[in-house]
Amino acid sequence: MPARLPYTYKYLRSKKKFPHVWCPGCGIGIVMGSIIRAIDSLGWELDDILMVSGIGCTSRMPVYVDFNTLHTTHGRALAFGTGAKMANPKLKVLAVMGDGDSMAIGGNHIIHAARRNIDITAIIVNNNNYGMTGGQFSPTTPQGAKTSTTPYGMIEPDFDVCKLTEAAGANFVARGDVYHVVELDGIIKSALSSSGFSVVEALSPCPTNFGRANRQGDAVNMMELLKNNTINIAQAAKLPKDKTEGKTVRGVFVNRDEIGYIERYQQLCDRVSSGVKK
Amino acid sequence: MSAIPWGETKLVQGNEAVALGALAAGIDFFAGYPITPSTEVAEILAREMPLIGKKWIQMEDEIASISAIIGGSLAGGRSMTATSGPGFSLMQEGLGYACMTEVPLVLVNVMRGGPSTGLPTQVAQGDVMQARWGTHGDHPAIVLAPSDVKECFDLTITAFNLAEEFRTPVILMPDEVIGHMREKLTFPKEEEVCITPPSSPDVPLEWYEHYHTSATGVSPMAHFGSGYRFHVTGLTHDTHGFPTRKVDEVISKMNRLKQKITRRLDILENNMLHEVEESKIVIFCYGSVYRSALAAQKILAKQRKKVGIFRPVTIWPFPDRTVKEMLDSKDVILVPELNQGQIIHEVERLTSDSVRVVPLHRYDGYEITPEQLVAAVLEVI
């Protein structure tokens, strides 16, 4: 996609914030590119966008993009974002989080953000471990996988980000990965256009920690794993079950049109204030 | 339409006065989580704020509540939360973040018995040191302790104003007795209330520094969506808000956080003194204990025994200079507290060995009575 690069720079704090902190072969930068392309195709103004994050590798993203940016405490991005969105509903709020940030320490906040259907787009970069602290297991580490805190293999079952947020009430739930990047661009664009709470899980390799601990090879090998081990939801529907077994399904799982929290709160204000004598 | 009975006299509860004070101060956003004995604040605001189109939300826990109001404040809303003991502990994370990122907000902590779940419906003053040092790292703290219902109203407005003025969280700490008591409150007229308007920068967009170094240490703050795009992080940051580990920038940030308070102590200091200069014995107290001290002073006066009262209204920053100047020449300073001894260490720190600093602790969930204070004074005379 080199032809697209010139306008990408418009969105980056390119003068002094690069090089970024991410390791060679990390997929977070690809997700950042997808977000920028999605926003560009929507024609949103930089001033209107708030990117909020928690703590971890993914949560470093806000430094690099020229929006209103808020790098918060571990797990709390959605709570900070909820407050900002309520105080200024004109802001288009985008929360970027990792799997540990959103599913473990921020688990309480994400289920309630989904239940409330707060008008925020959550983009969860899932690399199956805590990268920044050196590759400990997270709630999305697959059973049996090795990490620095599961030297004998992970014994806990893992969370499915999409099923969890769907059950909790999110308006829009989808999964993509950083290999199928054009598809990811489209998914993020749809999520950003959705009202209420929207969730995108973006599968991404962590060659430095998870990949090394599980002998998954270098960054290119890990990209091939994403290519071979995932399948688009439409393709999967056409194939017999045994052909899709063991593959992670990509695509849009939920696309509801429930009223988001901001509109519901405004309706409440209108309803109660109209009955009051001035 | 206003929930505030401007200019009228009413029987009002302390927590209710806090909620009305917040409305008087122009609160835009409240986020909270139910906890005794602070719930009335959230309940009254839940009723009143939607009526005037202001934003109110009950979050999933106290960490989310303080996080939400930090986000709300950065997006341009005057924001507040209210909690108590265990919730205050959970909020320490967000409190530190707000100190570090210099976000104005008001945190009301109605003090109940602790530690842990402790005595949820009963009074204590056990959070005084947590309010100063509860969140990790060196940080500024502004803490106000009302002693009556009128002050619950007035100091809530003051708390909002100081939060704007100093770009930092301000903690209002009524103890449970003050939060739940009802007494006569004459509301001011609307035009008598002074509100510090939210600051906004007047520099061109590209010149804006979110943490500009000014003489006071506080610079006008832009809000998300205003056209000034800036970065906010809890990492130690430079004047633009971006993470730094450069020694000079780290020191500059840390010094400014401290000095924005210490350079303007005169604005923050607020003490109530009763016959301190002419007394050799002084009761040093705050919150509900002050009410008992006033009663004890009257009882002792009838017995021709003179006792002074020194009460800090702003308990943090502690009034070091005034305490040293006024109390270091006394014979005895009685420090009654509803805890096992917290503020007393500050008084001891500031007075010479020749001054007897005598504690009076109560931590059984009940208030210190005037009779207890009278007995304690008679014992030390």
Among B127, B162, B192, identify where a domain stops: B192
Domain span at B318: 272-380
CATH domain A2-274 topology: Rossmann fold (3.40.50)
CATH code of the domain in which B291 resides: 3.40.50.920
Nearest to B225 among A48, A86, A269 (CB): A48
Q: Read off the pLDDT band of B131 (50, 70, 90).
A: very high
Distance CA B287, CA A66 (A): 47
User: Is residue A185 within 8 Å of residue A37, measured between CB atoms?
Assistant: yes
Does residue B154 share a domain with residue B15?
A: yes
Looking at the fold, whether B160 and B50 belong to one and the same domain comes out as: yes
**Start-to-end Cα distance in chain A:** 59
Mean pLDDT, rounded, for B123-137:
98
Confidence grade of residue B256 (pLDDT, cut at 50, 70, 90) = very high
Look up tokens 């473990």; give the residue: A104
pLDDT of B29 over the 80 cut = yes
Distance from CA of B60 to the nearest CA of A (A): 7
Of B53, B69, B75, the CB nearest to A88: B75
A and B: number of Cβ contacts within 8 A: 143
Beta carbons within 10 angstroms of residue B364's beta carbon: 11
- The alpha-carbon gap from A86 to the nearest alpha carbon of chain B, in Å, equals 7
Pick the closest to residue B93 from B114, B109, B70, B77 (CA basis).
B70
The pLDDT score that the predictor gives to residue A5 is 60
CATH code, domain carrying B19: 3.40.50.970
Check whether residue B188 and residue B284 sit in a common domain: no
Touching check for A80 and chain B: CB below 8 Å? yes
Q: Classify residue B303: in a domain, yes or no.
A: yes
CA distance A189 to A39: 7
pLDDT digits (tens, 9 = 90+) for A94-147: 999 999 999 999 999 999 999 999 999 999 999 999 999 999 999 999 999 999
Per-residue model confidence (pLDDT) at position A278: 44
| Domain end position, chosen among B161, B192, B223 | B192
- Picking from A68, A73, A86, the nearest residue to B29 by CB comes out as A86
Q: In whole angstroms, what is the distance from residue B289 CA to residue B71 CA?
A: 36
How far is Cα B101 from Cα A71, in angstroms, rounded to an integer? 10
Q: What does the pLDDT read at residue A7? A: 77
Spacing of C-alpha A156 from chain mean position: 23
Residues of B in CB contact (< 8 Å) with A are 1, 28-29, 31, 50-53, 55, 57, 59-61, 63-65, 67-77, 79, 93-94, 97, 223-227, 229-235, 242-243
Residue A4 has pLDDT above 80, yes or no: no
The rounded mean pLDDT for chain B is 97
Q: Do B301 and B163 have their domain in common? A: no
| Rounded-to-integer distance, Cα B90 and Cα B97, Å | 13
H/E segment holding residue A252: strand A248-255
* B154 & B281 share domain: no
pLDDT surpasses 80 at B18: yes
Report CB contact under 8 Å: A109, B93: no
Tell me: the pLDDT tens digits for B217-228?
899 999 999 999
- The pLDDT of residue A2: 46
Any domain includes B267:
no
pTM of the model: 0.97
Say how far residue A14 (Cα) sits from the centre of its chain. Answer: 23
Alpha carbon distance A123, A31 (integer Å):
9
Q: Do A79 and B59 touch (CB under 8 A)?
A: yes
B233: nearest CA in chain A?
A71
- Cβ neighbours around B133 below 10 Å, total: 14
Interface membership of A5 toward B (CB under 8 Å):
no
Per the structure, the count of domains in chain B is 2
Q: Is A68 helix (H, G, I), strand (E, B) or coil?
A: strand
Percentage of chain B lying above the pLDDT 70 cut: 100
How far apart are the C-alpha atoms of B266 and A9, rounded to whole Å? 49
Nearest CB to B74; choose among A46, A66, A84: A84
Does any CB of chain B come closer than 8 Å to the CB of residue A68? yes
The whole-angstrom separation of Cα A97 and Cα A51 is 11
Cβ pair A68:B225 closer than 8 A: yes
This model of the complex carries an ipTM of 0.97
**CA-to-CA distance for B77 and B341, rounded, in angstroms?**
38
Q: Categorize the per-residue pLDDT at A17 as very low, low, confident or very high, splitting at 50, 70 and 90.
A: confident
Is the pLDDT at B168 greater than 70, yes or no? yes
Tokens of B113: 């018995």
Contact A86 B60 (CB under 8 A): no
Q: Is A66 helix (H, G, I), strand (E, B) or coil?
A: coil
pLDDT score recorded for residue A145: 98
CA atoms within 13 A on the CB side of A273: 15
Residue carrying the six token digits 């967009």: B205
Contact yes or no for B230/B208 (Cβ under 8 A): yes
Are both B80 and B174 inside the same structural domain?
yes
Residue A27 structure tokens: 């997929």
For the segment B257-269, what is each residue's pLDDT rounded down to a tens digit? Answer: 999 999 999 999 9
3-state class of A213 per DSSP?
helix
Question: Chain A: residue nearest B74 by CA?
Answer: A84
Tokens matching residue A250: 């990509």
Tokens in use for B49? 């704020």
The answer to whether residues B151 and B175 touch, using CB atoms and an 8 Å cutoff, is no
Please provide residue B226's backbone torsions phi and psi, each rounded to the nearest 5 degrees: -85, -5
User: Could you tell me which residues come within 8 angstroms of residue B294 by beta carbon, excluding any fewer than 6 positions away?
Assistant: B274, B309
Mean pLDDT of A210-236: 97
Look at residues B172, B169, B27, B199 and name the one whose alpha carbon lies nearest to residue B98.
B169
CB contact under 8 A, B225 and A63: no
Query: Which residues does A89 contact at the CB level (< 8 Å), separation at least 6?
Result: A119, A262, A266
Residue B29 has its nearest CB partner, among A17, A79, A87, at A87
Q: Among A71, A268, A278, whose Cβ lies nearest the Cβ of B233?
A: A71
- B169 in the same domain as B57: yes
pLDDT, averaged across chain A = 95
Strand partners, B183: B12
